[in-house]
Structure 1
Amino acid sequence: MNTLSFSELCCLFCCPPFPGSIASKLAFLPPETSSYELESDENQTTKFKLHLNEKSDWQFGDKEKEYFETFYSRSNRGNKIACIFVRCAVNARFTILFSHGNAVDLGQMTSFFVGLGQRINCNIFSYDYSGYGASSGKPSEKNLYSDIDSAWQALRTRYGISPENIILYGQSIGTVPTVDLASRYEVGAVVLHSPLMSGMRVAFPATKRTWFFDAFPSIDKVPKVTSPVLVIHGTEDEVIDFQHGLTIYEKCPRAVEPLWVEGAGHNDVEMYSQYLDRLKQFVSIELAN
């Protein structure tokens, strides 16, 4: 998430714009150049080869690259959405539909996906938002919802995975499409990592209601989420205040024990040992029972 200058905040307050304008000001920061390319596979028209460049910071060898299957799906708003399926766990019960945070793309997330999937015994399916990585179009709130719908349909139809075996995982701005989808479909579980209540509540922490021009109104959607929800948030988050995670947790009808990472900020929660410990417990014990 970006932060606004004082003058920009005053402009928003005095002359409330359309939700899409707030969304673009508050949230979207796609990498200037993609960290990967999807190269056409001469033998298969619907599959592509993943080529990572130096911006991807790939941490593994060529063997792990065999875990990846990449392709494009088409959103209902006409954008080509880059998708990746990471088969990193044999006989995995759950597949995670992962909506990543801001300022990164799929190539920069590949090492994280392999490490996470292997450690919690899950396969991972992810996608790039419109205007991020190899996905076409421009970032917008409406496109976020369309993008995850496209990913959801691809996961369901291409791989035949049932909703009860899907875990929706959203991080930061990725919690916005995750909450939207979870409010419409019941799934195996939902993980909300550093979630935000709404755009205006990030810009103006004292905001108590959702205005008509607000963007990302997750706080109004989480009461409709019928799946088990694990909320994760750093107590010293400097981008999305810890109060956002706490309030989201309180509004979830089926929230499980949350993970409040003492001392963690916005971008380092994964560095704390309790992060993996909590996810392992959630997936292998709580969901299994």
Structure 2
Amino acid sequence: MSQLSFRQFCYLFCCPPCPSSIAAKLAFLPPEPSYQFETQSDGKYSVILRDTAQWVYTESDLQKIEGFTVRSRRGNKVACVFVRCDRNPRYTILFSHGNAVDLGQSSSYLVWLGDQLNCDILSYDYSGYGISGGKPYESNLYSDISAVWRGMKTRYHVDPENVILYGYSIGTVPTIRLAAKNKVAGVVIHSGLMSGLRMAFPEMGTTLWCDPFPNIVRVKKIRSPTLIIHGTADEIIEFCHGLGLHSNCSTAVEPLWVEGGGHNDLEFRSAFIERLRRFLNVEVFVG
């Protein structure tokens, strides 16, 4: 805490930022649902997208996406999609999306990512997002991804050694926590945050008990190869968060710092997909 100014120190302990107000800036801004599930004759769900999903592919491409639900241990229904790769996929990516979007709005990106990396993609909506039940709380983030993790193994028989955990923005919070508990093929931290309080005080040297989203602590426990990606001009989560996560992750590989990159535009840079391919082809855990 010695790195904080006296004024910041007093503000933190006399008028500390409410964790819910921090969370409001980072997450828990679910849009109106942009999709729905429709039951098919075989009991599976097809995904019906609304205009707000901004789907950019063909109707046949939409058939690659299978919808299903799991139930978290906190009792919430969690909506999930599984995007099948056309080729013989080497990995399954468990993707945790960012703020202010749902599965419908993420669907085009998921299809694109799976095609570019030759991977199956499994993604889900946090409690209170899309058609998932419950409310968007930090504790539900962890319960949601744990339920999806169990469902991935039982429904699709995916072994952890064939899984890439990928978190973007607020999605790095459940991703890092799960990665700290399970060894997988690899982990991708895309525009992640060190912790909630560090959004206000990035120079903090100590993680307090009241600090939400303590990625900076949990990243030290990851045992899998970890690729950290961050834009140097990120306007939402400052670049120093990427630097902090990288320096505290003992299994981190060479990071991708996108010069001039913001929070929502890194995938448009050629270096982005090239670095991900090299990570999957060369650096992930095998065996």
The TM-score, its normalising length taken from structure 1, stands at: 0.91
Aligned twin of 1:14: 14
Residue 56 (structure 2) pairs with residue 59 (structure 1): yes
Aligned twin of 2:93: 96
Secondary structure of 1:30 counterpart: coil
Instruction: Please tell me the residue identity of whatever aligns with 1:73.
Output: V
Aligned twin of 2:159: 162
Taking the TM superposition and a 5 Å limit, the aligned residue runs for 1:113-262 are 113-262=110-259
Residues 225 and 285 of structure 2 are in contact (CA less than 8 Å); yes or no, is this contact kept in structure 1? no
Q: Sequence identity of aligned pairs in percent?
A: 53
Could you list the per-position Cα deviations for residues 49-82 of structure 1 after superposition, in whole angstroms to 9, with x for gaps in the alignment? 2100000110111111111110110011110000
Residues 202 and 241 of structure 2 are in contact (CA less than 8 Å); yes or no, is this contact kept in structure 1? no
Residues 31 and 102 of structure 2 are in contact (CA less than 8 Å); yes or no, is this contact kept in structure 1? no
Secondary structure of 1:183 counterpart: helix
Residues 17 and 213 of structure 1 are in contact (CA less than 8 Å); yes or no, is this contact kept in structure 2? no
Cα RMSD after superposing both structures: 1.7
Could you list the per-position Cα deviations for residues 180-215 of structure 1 after superposition, in whole angstroms to 9, with x for gaps in the alignment? 000000000000001100000012223221112110
The structure-2 alpha-carbon separation of the partners of 1:13 and 1:111, relative to structure 1 and needing over 3 Å to count, comes to farther
Instruction: Please tell me the residue identity of whatever aligns with 2:148.
Output: A
Residues of 2 paired with 1:269 and 1:132: CA distance?
A: 24
- Structure 2 residues without counterparts, runs of 5 or longer: 1-9
- The alpha carbon displacement at 1:39 in A equals 1.8
Instruction: Please tell me the residue identity of whatever aligns with 1:239.
Output: I
Instruction: Please tell me the residue identity of whatever aligns with 1:16.
Output: P
Secondary structure of 1:71 counterpart: strand
Residue 49 (structure 2) pairs with residue 39 (structure 1): no
Runs of 4+ in 1 over 6 A off after TM superposition: none
Paired residues in the alignment total: 277
Secondary structure of 2:181 counterpart: coil
Residues of 2 paired with 1:281 and 1:32: CA distance?
A: 34
Residues 185 and 285 of structure 2 are in contact (CA less than 8 Å); yes or no, is this contact kept in structure 1? no
The structure-2 alpha-carbon separation of the partners of 1:12 and 1:72, relative to structure 1 and needing over 3 Å to count, comes to farther
Aligned twin of 1:285: 282
Instruction: Please tell me the residue identity of whatever aligns with 1:216.
Output: F
Residues of 1 paired with 2:117 and 2:204: CA distance?
A: 37
Residues 71 and 83 of structure 1 are in contact (CA less than 8 Å); yes or no, is this contact kept in structure 2? yes
- Structure 1 residues without counterparts, runs of 5 or longer: 1-9
The TM-score, its normalising length taken from structure 2, stands at: 0.92
Instruction: Please tell me the residue identity of whatever aligns with 2:29.
Output: P
Residues 22 and 197 of structure 2 are in contact (CA less than 8 Å); yes or no, is this contact kept in structure 1? no
Aligned twin of 1:73: 70
Residues 225 and 283 of structure 2 are in contact (CA less than 8 Å); yes or no, is this contact kept in structure 1? no
Residues of 2 paired with 1:159 and 1:43: CA distance?
A: 17
